[in-house]
Structure formats: structure tokens, C-alpha cells
Amino acid sequence: MKILKNKEKLLYALEKERIAGRTLSGEDAAARLGISRVAVWKAVEALRTEGYAIEALPAKGYRLLDCDILSSPRVRAYLPPRLENLKIFCYDTVDSTNKQAKILAGGDFSGSALFAANAQSEGRGRLGRTFYSPPNTGLYLSFLFSSRESLEVLSGVTPYTAVAASRILEKSISQKIGIKWVNDLYLDGKKICGILTEVLTGFDGECENKIIVGVGINLTTENFPGDLSERAGAVGKGINRAELAADIASALSFFIQDPQNRDWINEYSERSIVMGKKVVLDKWGETFEGTVVGFDRNGGLLLDMGEESPRLFTGGEISLRLCQKTSEKRA
């Protein structure tokens, strides 16, 4: 494991104490980190130059004030003990967290890793689209894990993540978050989060599949470019991004432990904003129109097209607006 610098170890310790509502004395910090009091002071000063507000209270010690700087030690401070060995990579700006996860997955890495960024220059969405990822207003992360489960079972990770992210975000807001099949979270009629899952498959079942789950969340984002201003929204202020990243990683670790569990599928259906509505589904250029009547155990879409039984779709993109326009033309 990477040897942490003194300031990173101290930041982790300060964040843990801040979460618990305590201060950290210089003596305790020195003993815990195995360094001198002078080294502790130098680490404090180094953190201050990076923007961390640290109080020095007489006879009490150091206290880290609340902040929203995204860093590996702060994320790790919110993780449960069972994820103490999770690899964490944090960036101020990165091309794409999914791209960085792919680079690691392309080697001999086996296990789990979290990539989180303050901003992305080449944020990626589904179907080759870009994901608007400006600095300081959102959380952009990717979670990489390995599994020997079948791709059919692993396909459930996208709707599972949508449910998990909705639950986590709702801890900070009073409104209900809805899900548009298969991977978009909606609040007040606008998209606040997108999920992009990518798979690097093993050969003939002999190698592990490597799954990358990318999650982009608009927290306080404003002034969306172009027509995004009509469709995109934000969750709101007051959400700790380090804690949010850790909570999502923790939730995904439960999926890894039991990928065949589908206890969440009913909630996915309940949160659906398209259930019972007429939609147009575009699947690689071919369109299908019908009414959404449900989802299969992996989150596949069941569409009533007036045939003998609903048709199952496991890919594509649906639109309510296109269906409304079609209905208006027919009328």
C-alpha cells in the first residue's frame, strides 16, 4: 500500500476527530502518526496552505473546520472498516474518472477502487454524450470492481446504483428522487444525476469481469450550457462530497458481496417516473412506442406495445416528450 505523507495521515486523523466532534492534541497526533510534535506542526501548516482551515485551541489541540475539499484522506475517513483497503484516487481536475478507472482495470489489477473528481474536462455520458462537469459544484466518481458473476447478473448494478444514490441523497433533502429508466435521477422534473456503467469482459468465463460504475451528480451546478438548462437541475447546498463519495462506494460494496440479491427492484419500480406512461424507446436507431408496465429482475424495461405480452428491452433510451409530440401529431 502507498506510504502516506504525514499531512495525509494527519488530515485523516483530523477528519475522524471532526466527525466525532473532538479535537486532536499535538501529543496524540504525534503518537498516532509516529512522528514528532514539530513534524505535526509542519503537517498542519502544509494542510493550511492547501486550503484546510485548522484551528489551534489552547490546551485542547487542533480542530479541522468544516470544508468541502475533495481528497482521499477525507473520503477514507467516512468509509466503514470493511473498506479500509479500498484504493482511492482523488483529482482536482481529470479528463474522466471512468477513463482513469479503465486504465487501472486494463492492467492486472483485481479488486475495488474509487476515483473521485472535483471537475472533469471530458466527462462521459451514455451513447457517447458528454457529461457537463464544472469545478466545485458536483461530484464525479467511478467505482471499479472485479467479479466472476455473469454479465446478466452484473447488469443489475446500474439500477441498483440508481436506487442507492437516491437513498443517499435523500438523507440531505426533503424531496423524493425519481428514476428515469435506466440510469438517470430526477428531482423537480430535472435530471440531477447520471450513471454510466462500462464492462471489460473476461474471456470464456476464465477471467474476472471488470465493472466500472460512473456516477455524476449535480449538487449546486447552475448555468448549464445550451438546452441542458431546460433539462438539468441540481440537488442543493449542504452536502459533504467526501461523505457522499464514501457512501456511494460503501453501497456498491454491498452489491459486490451479493450481486444476485434483488431486494431493491421493487423500490426501483416505485421510484420510476415512467411507470405506466407512454414512451418512445430508441434502440440503436430503431424506435418502439408503448406503455411501460414494469421491469425485470435486472432492471430491463417491459413495454406494452399492444402485442400478446409485453416486450423486454435491456438497452436503449426512452423519451416521454417524443411520445407526446407523436400523440399531438396523430390528434
Instruction: Give the three-state DSSP class for 327.
Output: helix
Q: Is 166 helix (H, G, I), strand (E, B) or coil?
A: helix
Strand partners, 216: 140, 194
Please give the span between the terminal C-alpha atoms of the chain, in angstroms, as a whole number.
Answer: 65
pLDDT value for 204: 52
From first to last of its 331 residues, the chain has per-residue pLDDT tens of 345 689 999 999 999 999 999 999 999 999 999 999 999 999 999 999 999 999 999 999 999 998 899 999 999 999 999 999 999 999 999 999 999 999 999 888 889 999 999 999 988 776 567 788 889 999 999 999 999 999 999 999 999 999 999 999 999 998 999 999 989 999 999 999 999 999 998 655 557 899 999 999 999 998 888 888 889 999 999 999 999 999 999 999 999 999 999 999 999 999 999 999 999 999 988 999 999 999 999 999 999 999 999 999 998 999 876 455 444 444 4
Comparing CA positions, the residue from 93, 14, 91 lying closest to residue 47 is 14
Task: Give the pLDDT of residue 2.
Answer: 44
**Which three three-digit cell numbers place residue 10?**
494527519
Which amino acid is residue 153, in one-letter code? Answer: V
pLDDT at 327: 43
Q: CA 93 to CA 119: how far, in whole Å?
A: 5
Query: In this predicted structure, what is the pLDDT of residue 319?
Result: 87
Q: Which three three-digit cell numbers place residue 5?
A: 505523507
CA-to-CA distance for 131 and 140, rounded, in angstroms?
10
On the question of a cis peptide bond just before residue 182, with omega within 30 degrees of 0, the verdict is: yes
CATH T-level assignment (fold) for domain 274-330: SH3 type barrels. (2.30.30)
Q: Can you name the CATH fold of 6-64?
A: Arc Repressor Mutant, subunit A (1.10.10)
For residue 2, give the amino acid letter: K
Q: Does domain 72-270 have CATH number 3.30.930.10?
A: yes
Rounded to 5 degrees, φ, ψ at 303 are -115, 120
Which is nearest to 194 in space by CA: 98, 113, 309?
98
What pLDDT does 329 receive?
45
Q: Where are the domains of the chain?
A: 6-64, 72-270, 274-330
Could you read off the pLDDT of 92-108 as tens digits, one per residue? 999 999 999 999 998 88
* CB of 296 closer than 8 Å to CB of 302: yes
Question: Which tens digit of pLDDT belongs to each residue from 9-25?
Answer: 999 999 999 999 999 99
